[in-house]
Structure 1
Amino acid sequence: MTPEEFRRYGRQVVDWIADYQEKIESYPVLSQARPGDVLAALPVHPPEQGEGYENLLADLERVVMPGITHWQHPSFFAYFPANASGPAILGDLLSAGLGVQGMLWATSPACTELETRMADWLAELLGLPAAFRSDGPGGGVIQDSASSSAVVAILAALERANGGRAGREGLTGRHTLYISSQTHSSLEKAAKITGIGAAGVRTVDVDPRTLAMDPARLDAMIAEDAAAGAVPTMVCATVGTTSTTAIDPVAAIGEVCRRHGVWLHVDAAYAGVAAVCPELRWLNEGVADYADSYTTNPHKWLLTNFDCNVLWVADREPLVGALSILPEYLRNQASESGEVIDYRDWQIPLGRRFRALKLWSVIRWYGAEGLREHIRTGVALAQRLAGWIRDEPGFVLFDHHPLSLVCFRPAWDGLPEDEANEATKRLMETLNASGDLFLTHTKVGGRVLLRMAIGAPATREEHVRAAWRRIVEETRKLEKSLQ
């Protein structure tokens, strides 16, 4: 493809994306494709000869679009937001165009140093502690996801728990990781990957009302495991769980961790970015005093398209000690001088994309005030929705919704619990099949709840209100059929 061809087709692609964003509400939120539909529309064998890009763009509409669930649709309320914004898309385009492989400082100094500054900028915007800044003992790094950050944090915790020998000598004895029933499943997967194993994952009781981890029970479990010869290695406290946005008491958990010498990892994948608003900085209570590592996802609720997770550590030494390896072909003067950061030592893969460009693009385009406005809009819409649910007869609101996720269900008066759960799932499937909105569910105390997560950049009150009207309408229909 010549530069002139790239210009011509590049303009077409940008125009296609802009058109898509303008007409996104015309699509059903959830893909209507059946299993195998996209495969059946694709040739079994690759083309022998190259062809014009016009054919690909035509097939994008014919083959791909019917199989797309529209995550940026203003009526997408499932899972958590996965924001994509114009500045972030352009930042990704610049990254792709430069084609940088940023494994070492020497392979592109700007890739490393812009990332360092972006991690510092974001730490400042979120009010995170000085130890997490690059000019302190720790620092930040952009990962692909909070799942990768969990693996990296556990490896650093193992390195510290084993006196800096885990990376060289491997693990001996039983190590334990502490989570709650509400912790993201990526932590258990990370335990399997890092050698702790599923048997070493200890699940701590939660407060039945708030679903927050019980620090007293955590304290007792760590003491019991240590007495039995295990090496308590890491505790994961969650700020904004996936199920209901429950918030673990980081300060109280941190006190337990400090008393036992255990690494505290704070998973704030969804909720952490909300601290860009000063009135929501309470989310970080205890982080400055106790957290050894902290992670959040700008690619969820901060207008930065996937993938962009940021992990900070209060002390980089165990992290680099666990992950650093230097074959001869990577040796260079800058690395050996000790004056630069080589982010290959802060992650699992060697290779690195220039992800900092899209975060830089987003922060500069929106500024702190623009980012705060986006978060505040999501929170305000969620609180209005919670008020409508509370005021509507025949609905039950899960009364923990400090951010932009609201959990609720019809009361289904008179139905046994198992039938009420099935009715809730049936309601969700009916709503999703309509194409007008997309919800997911969770289960709390044996009860199935609907989750409505607000935060897509295009979502306005009219979309939330229309979704709520549709939920009430379909609920009343289903209630009649169940009588």
Structure 2
Amino acid sequence: MPDQPSHMTPEEFRRHGHAAIDWIADYWASLDDLPVRAQVDPGDVRRLLPASAPDVGEPFDALLDDLDRVVVPGLTHWQHPRFFAYFPANSSPAAILGDLLSSGIGAQGMIWATSPAVTEVEQVVLDWFAEALGLPDAFRSDGAGGGVIQDTASTATFTALLAALHRASGGDVRRHGVGGAGWRVYGSTQAHSSLVKAAMMAGLGEDAVRTVAVDPATQAMDVDALRAAMTEDTAAGLRPVMVHVAAGTTSTGAMDDIAAVADVVRDRGVWLHVDAAWAGVAAVCPEHRSHLAGVEDADSFVTNPHKWLLTTFDCSTFWVRDRAALTGALSILPEYLRNAATESGEVVDYRDWHPQLGRRFRAIKLWAVLRTYGVEGLRAHVRSGVALAEHVADLVAADDRFEMVTEPSLSLVVFRLTAGDEQTMAAMEDVNASGEAYLSHTTVEGRAAIRLAVGSWRTTEADVDRTWRALQQAAGRVSS
């Protein structure tokens, strides 16, 4: 018999596990003093690592030591209280512990039979979450629809498109491929890039996506332009299959009018997918649900707790009104997965709800967040982010060197220097290079703008004020 590898004993695992948790806690405690953006050049991290893996195993302590020596200097710290770029990728103590439990359990939830608890906890947790968001009953698991945790909203959009194609073609796409049917997918010019990627992966090609103009003032989809585009395409013999509605665009947080778009597609048999990846979670607060008006007419809806809602990546919650279209598009049952529970029709097999077969026990971290914070705790977190964004807008209004580009959208503020694009970009890069904070940019109607997205679980008003002072100082330098 060959030699067996040396595994950690339970006591060694316990000791190293405590050390890993201690390292994370110390890392969090140190963040305020670290530069937010990584201060390394390309190749710096790689050069600190050996060319080959060790032949003989090393102590786990050596890996922890290398986190400080190799990894931390090369990190952009997404959990930093002054990380305002992109949207947050929040974690929280409860979510991390939930994720640790998931890893420790190590179960595969591809079908109900492989671990019934993985499926049924996920169903219940998504029903809880749908209720907390005020989503329609049609998305609950006890009806014709239901929810599933995807890895990202990009996968959710791709999955929605596959379901839309299946429904619109009566199953022909599944059997014969997309062929030359001339399918068309619609999204605004501000829709997430994953819409184009979904069309590419589905075999439609990027030319199948027709971009729709937006209102210059709000950056939301021009619904009249959508109606005209669909009418024109239909007259040309093309086949509209899905409309992507953005409830919170990445660029400016613009909110497409879901109800108005639903009126356009209602009699056309077109799938309506609502992408609320960032902004959807704000609906835990009843006063922040107006941007989801009309969602009761959507065929699918996605939002990401792993952005603003304290849940460690990856956790993208996706609901459909009619699961038959989804499973019809994706269900494949090889002999090695056949089992009595599946054939009884009494269980859900989540392998049929997304492209991949294998799936982690992602629900346990969302379960941990919902239980330890409670809905009221989540509301407090969202309201804090919105209030801090309003504070940023007030700071912009009080300094005539800056101006708002669009109205604040929940916890996102988009603004610029009045001096021009070059000064706007230079001031932002000055702050980013200093390590004081991390901001990102966009262009709106052809002009550069700074994005400041609040939402980290550790951000306070003092962090916002510190960032604003750095911006003011940078504005003075680039304008002199």
TM-score by length of 1: 0.97
- State the SS of the aligned residue for 2:72: helix
Distance 1:422 1:234 in 2: 39
Picking from 223, 238, 253, the partner of 2:261 is 253
Q: Is the 8 A contact 1:156 1:322 kept in 2?
A: yes
Q: Is the 8 A contact 2:45 2:70 kept in 1?
A: yes
Task: State the one-letter code of the partner of 1:382.
Answer: A
Gaps of 5+ in 1: 413-419
Which residue does the alignment assign to 1:415? Answer: none
- State the SS of the aligned residue for 1:451: strand
Gaps of 5+ in 2: 1-7
Larger mean CA deviation between 213-222 and 233-242 belongs to 213-222
- State the SS of the aligned residue for 1:10: helix
- State the SS of the aligned residue for 1:458: coil
Post-superposition shift, 1:64?
Answer: 0.7
Q: Is the 8 A contact 1:139 1:312 kept in 2?
A: yes
Q: Is the 8 A contact 1:222 1:260 kept in 2?
A: no
Q: Is the 8 A contact 1:147 1:187 kept in 2?
A: yes
Identity %: 57
Q: Tell whether 2:353 aligns with 1:346.
A: yes
CA-to-aligned-CA distance 1:347-390 (integer Å, 9 cap, x gap)? 11100000000000000000000000000000001001101101
Q: Is the 8 A contact 2:412 2:454 kept in 1?
A: yes
Which residue does the alignment assign to 1:456? Answer: 456
Moved over 3 A (4+): none
Q: Which residues of 2 match residues 54-203 of structure 1 at below 5 A?
A: 54-172=61-179, 173-203=181-211
Which residue does the alignment assign to 1:329? Answer: 336
Task: State the one-letter code of the partner of 1:372.
Answer: R
Post-superposition shift, 1:213?
Answer: 0.6
Distance 1:348 1:400 in 2: 38
CA-to-aligned-CA distance 1:112-144 (integer Å, 9 cap, x gap)? 000001111110000000000001110000000
- State the SS of the aligned residue for 1:259: coil
Distance 2:271 2:354 in 1: 18
- State the SS of the aligned residue for 2:138: helix
Q: Which residues of 2 match residues 39-50 of structure 1 at below 5 A?
A: 39-50=46-57
Q: Is the 8 A contact 2:252 2:406 kept in 1?
A: no
Which residue does the alignment assign to 1:473? Answer: 473
Post-superposition shift, 1:423?
Answer: 2.2
Distance 1:217 1:478 in 2: 40
Q: Is the 8 A contact 2:77 2:83 kept in 1?
A: yes
Number of residue-to-residue matches in the alignment: 472
Post-superposition shift, 1:217?
Answer: 1.2
Q: Is the 8 A contact 1:132 1:138 kept in 2?
A: yes
Which residue does the alignment assign to 1:392? Answer: 399
CA-to-aligned-CA distance 1:176-206 (integer Å, 9 cap, x gap)? 0001111000110011000121111101111
Which residue does the alignment assign to 2:5? Answer: none
Task: State the one-letter code of the partner of 2:90.
Answer: N
Picking from 4, 16, 27, the partner of 1:9 is 16
Task: State the one-letter code of the partner of 2:444.
Answer: V
Q: Is the 8 A contact 1:177 1:196 kept in 2?
A: no
Task: State the one-letter code of the partner of 1:462.
Answer: A
TM-score by length of 2: 0.97
Distance 1:210 1:437 in 2: 27
Task: State the one-letter code of the partner of 2:20.
Answer: V
Which residue does the alignment assign to 1:277? Answer: 285
Task: State the one-letter code of the partner of 2:470.
Answer: R
Post-superposition shift, 1:221?
Answer: 0.9
Which residue does the alignment assign to 1:429? Answer: 429
Q: Is the 8 A contact 1:439 1:450 kept in 2?
A: yes
Q: Tell whether 2:237 aligns with 1:223.
A: no
Post-superposition shift, 1:476?
Answer: 1.1
Task: State the one-letter code of the partner of 1:123.
Answer: A
Distance 1:409 1:245 in 2: 16
Post-superposition shift, 1:422?
Answer: 2.3
- State the SS of the aligned residue for 1:207: coil
Distance 2:60 2:28 in 1: 21
Distance 1:26 1:73 in 2: 10
CA-to-aligned-CA distance 1:438-462 (integer Å, 9 cap, x gap)? 0000000111000000010010000
Q: Is the 8 A contact 2:423 2:475 kept in 1?
A: no
Distance 1:33 1:97 in 2: 34
Task: State the one-letter code of the partner of 2:67.
Answer: L
Picking from 275, 295, 308, the partner of 2:302 is 295
Q: Tell whether 2:446 aligns with 1:446.
A: yes
Distance 1:234 1:15 in 2: 48
Post-superposition shift, 1:169?
Answer: 2.5
Which residue does the alignment assign to 1:416? Answer: none
Post-superposition shift, 1:164?
Answer: 2.6
Task: State the one-letter code of the partner of 1:255.
Answer: D
Task: State the one-letter code of the partner of 1:468.
Answer: W
Which residue does the alignment assign to 1:313? Answer: 320
Post-superposition shift, 1:207?
Answer: 0.7
CA-to-aligned-CA distance 1:91-111 (integer Å, 9 cap, x gap)? 000000001111000000000
Distance 2:30 2:57 in 1: 31
- State the SS of the aligned residue for 2:319: strand
Q: Is the 8 A contact 1:246 1:400 kept in 2?
A: no
